[in-house]
Amino acid sequence: MKKTIKSIVAMLALSSIMFASCGDDSKTAIVDPTASVVTITLNNGVRTLIQISQFPDTIKITGNITITGGDKLAKLEVKRNISSSAGDYKLIKVDSTLNATSTDFIVNDVQTGDNLNSLAQEDKITYLVLVTDSKGILTKDSITFIVKGISVSPQIFLGASANGNQNNRFLGYADNFQAYAIGTDKTKKDPTTGKFYLPARENASKIDFVFFSNLQDANVKGALYSPDYPFAAGQGYQDEISKWPAGSPRATKFIRLASAFSISQFNNASDPSNQAVNTLLRSLKFDGKDIDPNTSNPLAAPTNKLAKLTSDEIIAFKTADGKSGLMLIALTPGADLTGNFQVQIKMLP
């Protein structure tokens, strides 16, 4: 009888422990369904490294911040770090009076004083955005820009109009300034580079320039065309371009700079101390109202064809995807049209 009572007491004691344990578990498992969530969207959601030209005047950061769950935004801070500079993040913006569930902000980080004047090529500028809500909970996100200098092509040789092999008539800045050939033959090699010629029609989405020469036509001579130039049937490269895939060719705009922009300025474009090319390209809108910042004179209206090119002529261009640059022309086709164009390109990243 005593053994039976002891067993019952032991079972009751164990049950009380189990119930107590279950009660503790239910308390720790409760989750607050009204917890606020802060969402930060920077530069319209761009998440990759954003390339900027060397020594930018201003870096612009845009942001949208929202909070859901009943609380409000309380404080916004934006800090900046430059990879080549010693020290931690520097505070460049603070707003402690948000008191809202949504806010937009813009930061224009201007190159004055000690802001951005120490930038070097390949520098990474990271902007850290910190948001505190009304309960003191911190949320953060960041965006990074990388400084890229003006890219420079090698000297590019382009086939003349009637040299027989029909090679290297089309050019794009993609793939390290690759030139392309008419037709579908992939067995011929460029004698200068030793590389196989690539067919233009298989690379139409990468082509930004068309070169054509007809020295017998005084209105053409050596000419530069946008890939979407409407060649008449049987003229220029109409037969080749008509075989390109749907959706191509791309459109490129050109502006003749005449003698206002010097070869010396072009040649020194990649020198970080020379801002002539950078300044010019950043200023051009290609809207017919452009002014040369070096002379304050109006520039020619943009066009999709430049005929009668001359040696040492400098051309400004803007590609279909918004890339801008300068092209230095060298014309060497002989009277029998067997020579080559030579060009060099310098462009913003």
Per domain, the residue ranges of the chain are 37-148, 151-347
CB 189 within 8 A of CB 195: yes
Question: pLDDT confidence of 295, banded at 50, 70, 90?
Answer: confident
Burial class of residue 277 in the structure, from the number of CB atoms within 10 Å of its CB (0-12 exposed, 13-18 middle, 19+ buried): buried
Please give the structure tokens belonging to residue 336.
Answer: 């029998």
Averaged pLDDT of the chain: 82
Question: pLDDT confidence of 281, banded at 50, 70, 90?
Answer: confident
Sequence-distant contacts of 45-52: CB under 8 A, at least 24 apart: 46/143, 49/124, 49/144, 49/145, 49/146, 50/143, 50/144, 50/145, 50/146, 51/145, 51/146, 51/148, 51/349, 52/145, 52/146, 52/147, 52/148, 52/349
pLDDT tens for residues 75-128?
999 999 998 877 778 999 999 999 999 999 999 998 775 677 777 778 899 999
Q: Is the pLDDT of residue 284 over 70?
A: yes
Instruction: Give dist(CA 149, CA 146) in Å, integer.
Output: 10
Write the CATH number of the domain with boundaries 37-148: 2.60.40.730
- Asked which of 136-140, 147-151, 318-322 is least confident by mean pLDDT, the reply is 147-151
Tell me the average pLDDT across 173-198.
84
pTM of the full structure? 0.65
Q: pLDDT at position 113, please? A: 58
Question: pLDDT confidence of 6, banded at 50, 70, 90?
Answer: very low
Instruction: Give dist(CA 65, CA 79) in Å, integer.
Output: 16
Q: pLDDT at position 33, please? A: 53
Question: pLDDT confidence of 22, banded at 50, 70, 90?
Answer: very low
Q: How many CA atoms lie within 13 A of 94 on its CB side?
A: 3
Q: Is the pLDDT of residue 9 over 60?
A: no
